Amino acid sequence: MLLSLLSVGAARAQEASEPSGPAVAAPASPTPPEGASAPARGVVPPVLLSKPEAVYPPQALAAKVEGAVKLLLTLDEEGRVTRAQVVEGLGHGLDEAAVDALAKASFTPAMQDGTPVACQFEFIHHFVLAAPAPQVAEGPAPQQPVDEAPVAQAPAEVPPEPELPSFTSIVRGKATEARVLVRGSEAVDVVELEKAHERAEDLAEVLTRASAVQVQRTGGLGSRTQLALGGLSGDQVRVLLDGVPIEYSPYVYGLGSVPVSLIRQMEVFNGVVPVRLATDALGGAIHLRSDLAAPETGASLSLQAGSFGSYRGTGRVTWRANEQVFVRAAGFHDRARNDYRVTVPVADPVTGRVGPRALNRSHDAYRGSGGSLELGVESLPGLDRLVLTGYLGQYDKEVPHDQLMIRPYGAVTSGQESYGVGLRYEVSAHERLKVLAIAGYNQRIGELYDVSDCLYDWYGVCQGTQARAGEIGSSPLENTQKRQTLFGRVRLLGTLLDVEDLELSLGADDSERTGENAYLTRLGQEDPLRIPLGLTSGFGGLSHRQSLWEGRLENTLFVKGYVQRLSSGTNAQLSETRWAGGYGDTLRFSVTRWLLLKASYERTTRMPRVEELFGDGGLLVESTALLPESSHNANVGVELLSWVTPVGRFGANASAGLRDIENLIQLFPGDTTQAYENVDHARSVTAHAGLDWDSPGDWVGLTGAVTWLDFKNLAQEGQFARFKGDRMPNLPWLQATGTARFQVSRLLSREDALGLEWTTRVVGSFDRSWESAGNGGTKQSVPTQVLHSTALTYRARFERRAYSFSFNLHNLTDAAAFDLVGVQRPGRALSARLTVDL
């Protein structure tokens, strides 16, 4: 639906009345017509103001080469050319001459709904020798002047040049899809990652700066990452990659393992999740998009190194065989020692008195890698697109201590691998119907080993032995689990009164989990992991979008249905089927073209996952009595879109959300293990505000965001009723981030820039347990944290190549940083990143 709303404009000078694909044709004239005004809504292509002049290269003259060079130009909001990339070249120096010429061209900015936007478009530059090239295009000749091609060593009398097309302009705003999302009725934050690709940071860091997401980690690179939206976390906030749950991908360690350079855009849906994602989320969803750019021949490589033995490498290669066939491969490799300084209670070797001591963290190494290969065909009769994907990913991680960072481990390790295949299919079956389908198979194998009988200290030294093996629990763990999943998604986009205003989404996942504790098997004891578990989940959703008052009012009404069937035992000795429904509405009203008011509501349900019910046989214990959780989710907000003024470009947003939850599923850590439990009733109230400003010429920029959370337990029954009125533990009530950007362009070339960023993050104090539990010195809490980081980035483009180099200094003041259950995160750390695009 959104892809259609993102209709792009196309201008063809030689055929002004002929549309090109979904674009709208419009004439492209060298100068804007006098007295003309841009339409109030829609897309207006850029207009060429000054004619570029290229010098005919000597080698092209000698070889008598002439023809057209097709370039992809990138313009900023002021109509300046920021990048010229050759799409179809001639060689013999003509490509370079065209790039040099177009870098000096001047255009009017592209307009979308009356607002200047950055854009990309194809520009055809013609090189013609003294003799005119024959005109082979059919149809009437263009009426406006054309781009004059340079004449090489012309004789005294030069015949007139044929009227050739000035340029072909297909407006694709850099943030076009993002703008469509933000301008829609959904409660969504769109985070674009173009600048983040150049810096040594990951997706979690970007999320904390640019959205209401709270990211909590248990350590450095490769540590467990928990996302929270409105206080809801874990599987309550679903993470998807190109419409598929992220667990069905090479990134088996979650969001923290996804390379930022492989993702183009992040969409953060607050509470109300659109039908097209086909998932049962309670707190919202985070949709990672890697498929926004059309596959074009090229390659990119990113290498990063940093403190504590951290290294990250990412690569992508794309080959476009022709207009119909492409091949794309991507891969990554990460590793880290994570031996940063921590402060932990250590016994004095002389007195035996226990006290805090700073030492290097041990036994926390991480290594992960993975890759994917895509083969795609598109633009064939009866087929818009068909993509076959295969992938493989794995990680190995040492476990340094228990959940509360009280007891050190020295030999506990975990790991997982994931592999599978996927198939994507798109077809416009009818002028009023479009079909998008995804199907795939995934297998994940997880391992947890805890077989040592040593008693390790915080220095990683074995101080003695114990009668039984196993550092975590009462017996050793040699756990291996295997999960196999078949999944599918189907979206039907129909047109009733407006383009693709009706959508039907269906989704299904069928999983089976088996496992074994090899230690128990050798002893002939009962092994609960050997009991097979089956889980089948289904989703169905229907939505209708209505637009009134020339698009000023947009309303989307939707209904959802959920079904889950759980079976346990070889003959399904225990089985249960659960049904639930949901409904909601999203509303947007445009006060002006750049000021929007939004409201949304959803009644939603989330079914428990297998791990939440039956644990993982190791650190996570079973909770078979869990009930499905449900919630009333409501949002109101105001959006100030990119507003261009003489003093710069402004953007702002403010929103408030309410989550009234029944049977909340919450993870509660214990001394050695953790378990999920239901909280009878809870209520979350959130407020978020953001502001963004860029000076004219992008010399200076300021960005700020603040999120306030009041998440309270309102349980009337059960074991948590005695904590009624308390804030939910282990969640900060305040998070604020501010960033200042400085940039100087054209230092060594026409296409380079040096940028400096400074970011400050404030995290309010929070309790690690219930507010009313403990008092005075016995109360465990995390104090308010103020963390600073800075980044220095240089980027440059030469012909078709782009380079960037970045230095990042994290936690500049070396402050003690804590996120999840008081586990200390790394202190001051330096990292460097090199990125090359070919």
SS (H, E, C) 373-422: EEEEEEEECCEEEEEEEEEEEEEEEECCECCCCCCECCCCEEEEEEEEEE
What's the pLDDT score for residue 644?
77
How far is it, in rounded angstroms, from Cα 821 to Cα 808? 27
Whether 153 shows a pLDDT value over 70: the answer reads no
Max avg pLDDT among 122-131, 375-384, 819-828 = 375-384
Beta strands in 133-283 (DSSP E): 168-170, 188-192, 214-217, 225-229, 232-233, 237-241, 244-245, 265-270
Q: Which residue has the higher pLDDT, 452 or 152?
A: 452
DSSP state at residue 98: H
Whether 468 shows a pLDDT value over 50: the answer reads yes
What's the pLDDT score for residue 66?
80
Whether 337 shows a pLDDT value over 80: the answer reads yes
What's the pLDDT score for residue 778?
55
How far is it, in rounded angstroms, from Cα 216 to Cα 200? 19
What's the pLDDT score for residue 261?
85
pLDDT digits (tens, 9 = 90+) for 177-223: 677 788 888 988 888 887 777 776 778 788 887 788 888 888 888 88
CB neighbour list of residue 765: distance below 8 Å, 6 or more residues apart: 732, 781, 782, 783, 784
Q: What is the mean pLDDT of residues 782-801?
A: 89
C-alpha count within 13 angstroms, C-beta hemisphere, residue 193: 24
What's the pLDDT score for residue 90?
81
CB of 20 closer than 8 Å to CB of 9: no
Q: Which residue has the higher pLDDT, 504 or 522?
A: 504
**What is the three-state SS of 765-795?**
CEECCCCCCCCHHHCCEECCEEEEEEEEEEE
Q: What is the mean pLDDT of residues 540-547?
A: 94
CB neighbour list of residue 157: distance below 8 Å, 6 or more residues apart: none
- How many helices and strands, by DSSP H and E, does the chain display? 7, 49
pLDDT digits (tens, 9 = 90+) for 248-296: 999 988 787 888 888 888 999 998 999 999 998 888 999 999 877 778 8
Would you mind telling me the total number of residues written for the chain in this entry? 838
pLDDT category at 17 given cuts 50, 70, 90 is very low
In the chain, % of residues over pLDDT 90: 42
Helical spans, DSSP H, in 683-742:
none
pLDDT digits (tens, 9 = 90+) for 18-27: 333 333 223 3
Whether 148 shows a pLDDT value over 80: the answer reads no
677 φ, ψ (degrees, to nearest 5): -140, 155
63 φ, ψ (degrees, to nearest 5): -90, -5
Helical spans, DSSP H, in 502-647:
518-523, 610-614
Pairing assessment for the beta strands 766-767 and 801-810 based on DSSP bridges: unpaired
pLDDT digits (tens, 9 = 90+) for 107-144: 888 887 667 878 887 788 887 775 443 443 333 333 33
Whether 170 shows a pLDDT value over 90: the answer reads no
What's the pLDDT score for residue 121?
79
How far is it, in rounded angstroms, from Cα 477 to Cα 675? 18
What's the pLDDT score for residue 633?
95
Q: Measure Cα distances from 161 to 48, 64, 95, 128, 134 in Å.
A: 20, 17, 21, 8, 10
Q: Which value, to the nearest 10 degrees, does the dihedral of the CA atoms of residues 343, 807, 366, 785 take?
A: 30
What's the pLDDT score for residue 160?
39
pLDDT category at 792 given cuts 50, 70, 90 is very high
Q: Which of 512-516, 642-646, 755-759 has the lowest mean pLDDT?
A: 642-646
Whether 803 shows a pLDDT value over 70: the answer reads yes
Task: Choose among 236, 242, 336: nearest CA to 283.
Answer: 236
What's the pLDDT score for residue 331?
95
Q: Which of 114-128, 461-475, 521-535, 726-740 has the lowest mean pLDDT?
A: 114-128
Q: What is the mean pLDDT of residues 449-470?
A: 90
Task: Choose among 629, 582, 707: nearest CA to 273.
Answer: 582
What's the pLDDT score for residue 312?
93
Whether 161 shows a pLDDT value over 50: the answer reads no
